[in-house]
Amino acid sequence: MLKDFRTVWAGCLRTIAAEIGEQSFKTWFRPIVPVELKDNVLTIQVPSNYFYDWLEEHYVDELRRALFQELGAAGRLEYSVVVDQGTPLDQPKTLHLPPARKQAAPERDAPPPDARPRPVPGNGPASGPRYYQAAGSNRPVMAPAAATAEAAPRNPFQQARAVDGNLVPSQLNGSYTFDNYIEGDCNRLARSAGIAVANKPGTTSFNPLMVYGGVGLGKTHLVQAIGNHIKATGPERFVLYVSAEKFTNQFIESVKSHKVQDFANFYLQVDVLILDDVQFLADKDKTQEMFFHIFNHLQQSAKQIVLTSDRPPKDLQGLEDRLLSRFKWGLTADVQTPDFETRVAIIRNKMEQDGIDIPAPHVVDYLANSVHTNVRELEGVIASLVAQSSLSRRDIDLEMVKQALRHIIEEVEAEVNLDFIQKTVAAYFNVSVDLLKDKTRKKEVVTARQVAMYFAKHHTSHTLKTIGFHFGGRDHTTVMHSVQTVSDLVDLDKKFRSQVDDLRKKFAK
């Protein structure tokens, strides 16, 4: 009777599951798809070359025993390796590879199951090497980490002396939730996408979800809210939040300590990976290569990936094209500077959370008008006001708000120069300072550049020629044209006038 390839592989999985740990089985065998069985050759499809290499390095013996159990000594294995073409619209190609190691069947006089290697007691901490007593020998030998149910990949979040081999907490701040993430026109798309991902991680078209925007606009709050919601609704999921800087440092440490495979295996077990400030990976080629393999594995295994950046993918410099193309596979959503109404809502919500009576409307309006571009800075001022109100047992009034804002206003007055103007305007329009000096004619960049020149003309003593020089070597006529264009638009476009007024308050002396 001919055996069906699905039945054969199901039998192999049962054998392998009895030999290795649950997490390792979930990571390395659940994603495998049986393809065909022909002439006693079972073909299985794996997600990537990296996946293939890992199986051959760590699980070839388990595969060999399982295949022998199902097909006998004549059974052979072949891999079909998925090679994606850089865009989800292209069908993946497959490379048919034989096993890298010889697949000899188990010898006829191989020891029975009860004579297989057994643990040697008293070999030190659980996170250290696992030693096994070979059958028929008194000499302990070291077993591969992935070959036993007890072994686990080294945890890069633990100190070197830690002995707990369990998975780490998610590194999430529990105070970041959707309930206290105020929605406005500035972040509506990003918040809606975040909720969709949190409800169905890995199964929506928003994979990866990339959230970008300037400093202090709530990116970290949003992506951690996603993680917290997923953990609350599915505690069994391995959700991990990590900054790109920490990821890089962990990878460097794994290279130094010769534990790169442990590092990779740890991240490949994640169900939801949240990587903050992905722009930090720029020009770090080896780290990018490792992240590329991890990204591919997680994405192809229907695991959720969430990224943040200070700029959109098209403006990320120093990242490989193959990574950038993958960032665009899902949804890219920006968070912008909050408008006046959103700032008012943030103030009221924060004070309600802290149990403070909300001040009179004109006091709230004054505060919302005084801190324009940075939610983090606004929340810092609110925290200061809450502390002052509690300690002095006074209600928050206009005088207290002005006192709390004094240092911010003084800082602005002291720093109105070309560099400050460029940074402030670039952050407001969500473009980089480098683009203000670049030759690009993209509409959003041109607008930001013209506005920055306008304020440079009115708030510094520099000549038009000097201003042009600091904007990529442009001549004085370009500066004159920019200043006139902004002046005209202020008169004609209400929304544009509001944006200029917002910025003007930051430069007011």
Tens of pLDDT, residues 376-387? 888 888 888 888
- Asked whether the predicted pLDDT for residue 410 surpasses 80, the reply is no
Mean pLDDT for the stretch of residues 396-411: 74
Most confidently modeled of 49-63, 164-178, 291-305?
A: 291-305
- List the beta bridge partners of residue 34: 44
Q: Which residue has the higher pLDDT, 127 or 241?
A: 241
DSSP string over 238-300: -EEEEEHHHHHHHHHHHHHTT-HHHHHHHHHT-SEEEEE-GGGGTT-HHHHHHHHHHHHHHHH
219 known member of a binding site: yes
Per-residue pLDDT, 120:
33
Mean pLDDT for the stretch of residues 442-465: 88
CA geometry: angle 59, 60, 65, nearest 5 deg: 100
Intervals of CATH 1.10.1750.10 along the chain: 418-507
How many residues are recorded in the chain? 509
Per-residue pLDDT, 479:
93
216 known member of a binding site: yes
Q: How far is CA 249 from CA 161, 180, 268, 506, in A?
A: 18, 32, 17, 37
- Asked whether the predicted pLDDT for residue 50 surpasses 80, the reply is no
- Contacts for 120-124 with beta carbons within 8 Å, 24 or more apart? none
Find the range with the poorest average confidence among 110-114, 383-387, 393-397, 488-492: 110-114
Per-residue pLDDT, 405:
81
What is the distance between the alpha carbons of residues 141 and 225, in angstroms, rounded to a whole number? 46
Q: Is 371 exposed, middle or buried (0-12, 13-18, 19+ CB in 10 A)?
A: buried
Mean pLDDT for the stretch of residues 129-148: 33
Mean pLDDT for the stretch of residues 37-53: 84
Q: Which residue has the higher pLDDT, 485 or 80?
A: 485
Intervals of CATH 1.10.8.60 along the chain: 340-414
Query: pLDDT grade, residue 12 (50/70/90)?
Result: very high
- Asked whether the predicted pLDDT for residue 87 surpasses 60, the reply is no
For the domain spanning 418-507, the CATH number is 1.10.1750.10
Fold (topology level) of 5-97: GMP Synthetase; Chain A, domain 3 (3.30.300)
CA geometry: angle 301, 303, 307, nearest 5 deg: 130
Per-residue pLDDT, 380:
85
Q: Is 150 exposed, middle or buried (0-12, 13-18, 19+ CB in 10 A)?
A: exposed
pLDDT digits (tens, 9 = 90+) for 144-194: 333 333 344 556 665 322 323 344 578 899 889 999 998 988 899 999 999
Closest CA to 202 of 84, 31, 52: 31
What is the distance between the alpha carbons of residues 244 and 241, in angstroms, rounded to a whole number? 10
DSSP string over 330-392: SEEEE-----HHHHHHHHHHHHHHTT-PPPPHHHHHHHHHH--S-HHHHHHHHHHHHHHHHHH
- Asked whether the predicted pLDDT for residue 109 surpasses 80, the reply is no
Per-residue pLDDT, 286:
93
Per-residue pLDDT, 140:
31
Intervals of CATH 3.40.50.300 along the chain: 188-334
- Asked whether the predicted pLDDT for residue 355 surpasses 60, the reply is yes
Per-residue pLDDT, 301:
85
Q: How far is CA 345 from CA 21, 28, 221, 380, in A?
A: 49, 47, 16, 15
Tell me how far apart the terminal alpha carbons of the chain are, to the nearest angstrom. Answer: 90
Most confidently modeled of 90-94, 253-257, 261-265?
A: 253-257
Per-residue pLDDT, 156:
64
Q: Thinking of the domain 188-334, which architecture would CATH place it in?
A: 3-Layer(aba) Sandwich (3.40)
Please provide the average confidence, as pLDDT, over all residues in the chain.
79
CATH class entry, domain 340-414: mainly alpha
Per-residue pLDDT, 130:
32
Contact present, 427 and 502 (Cβ < 8 Å):
no
- Residue 46 φ/ψ, nearest 5 degrees: -120, 155
Per-residue pLDDT, 409:
54
Per-residue pLDDT, 407:
66
pLDDT digits (tens, 9 = 90+) for 196-248: 999 999 988 899 999 999 888 999 999 999 999 999 998 889 999 999 999 99
Is the overall model pTM greater than 0.95, yes or no?
no
Per-residue pLDDT, 157:
61
Most confidently modeled of 21-30, 83-92, 217-226, 293-302?
A: 217-226
Find the range with the poorest average confidence among 20-24, 302-306, 325-329, 505-509: 505-509
- Asked whether the predicted pLDDT for residue 45 surpasses 90, the reply is no
148 known member of a binding site: no
Per-residue pLDDT, 127:
33
Per-residue pLDDT, 2:
63
- Asked whether the predicted pLDDT for residue 131 surpasses 50, the reply is no
- Asked whether the predicted pLDDT for residue 102 surpasses 80, the reply is no
Per-residue pLDDT, 106:
45
Per-residue pLDDT, 13:
94
- Asked whether the predicted pLDDT for residue 129 surpasses 80, the reply is no
Closest CA to 157 of 57, 249, 219: 249
Intervals of CATH 3.30.300.180 along the chain: 5-97
